[in-house]
Structure 1
């Protein structure tokens, strides 16, 4: 029974209504009964949601698995896109955090000339970073050589305030730039390098870019 397994009935009904989980059978009084396998399926659904998968995506994975297919080949590029979006989000959050820390560290400098000096300092810092920094995109398939390329790019631009974003080879940006092989390095929308650069190559390439 769901209650014995510590699962809320409302949770079971929620996924049942969306076609992700069906009771094994119903009692004459209308109670839904679920097997241990179905409760394990529920745990899979909940953990997949926590990873950021939508119910539609989870349903497609379950349908593929129920049909006897292996969904991992279709999930892998999805995970790469999700990871790339997370990298981009993390970079944005880090930049915001840097602005807040800068404002706190320099709040004692200068005169009050706005409704809030802290806000003005943080905003000015962000404006300067947007003016100085460049967007560097590394297209990667998640292989060791691709990971090595990302590390070398990050090391090459560690002090310049550039934003480094990783993207999947099947992303819309890859199609836009005409990426045919990975790893590939794109700076401000221009494809500069395809392959695995040495650290010296990455340093020289990104300093000139």
Structure 2
């Protein structure tokens, strides 16, 4: 199982980078269709405003400002549409501009002139970054897959657990065998051993008495 879990995250990141790159390419193709194969109508700049974006990374803080415009145009069918787009600082409120959009897609209109250098540079930067990110994610996926396969092989080796984890609690020790009972003692003798000489009759009453020491009375 570990050989599938480890490479799953970088694989998902690879799919995300590929999807982002595909989105950039699709937007570029739509812009080319508007520039070279689209419908051109007259539009007007309604408003010019400044957009400020701030990034905070730890103690480092960076700010970027972008000039944006709100445009209005009317299609040959009589529909009046408005859109906002980043543009050059030479366009001011009330200026008349050429608006282009792909055939049948006035919602994808642009006031950028064909072959705009800023648009081309932004497209190249985005595509280069996403290509690098995709290659990096593919490499990380390959490394994680190799590591997961090695861990699985180690876990399947004899004498080792099948999967890494916390050690289980030790089991209770087996009971010790019962101690053997001691051998039975021989019976104690109840009389003199066989062959022992028989004492004389009246012994020990027939023994001579010792004289009393003087002065005992």
TM-score with structure 1 setting the length: 0.24
Higher helix share: 1
Larger Rg: 2
Bigger RCO (CA 8 Å, 6+ sep)? 2
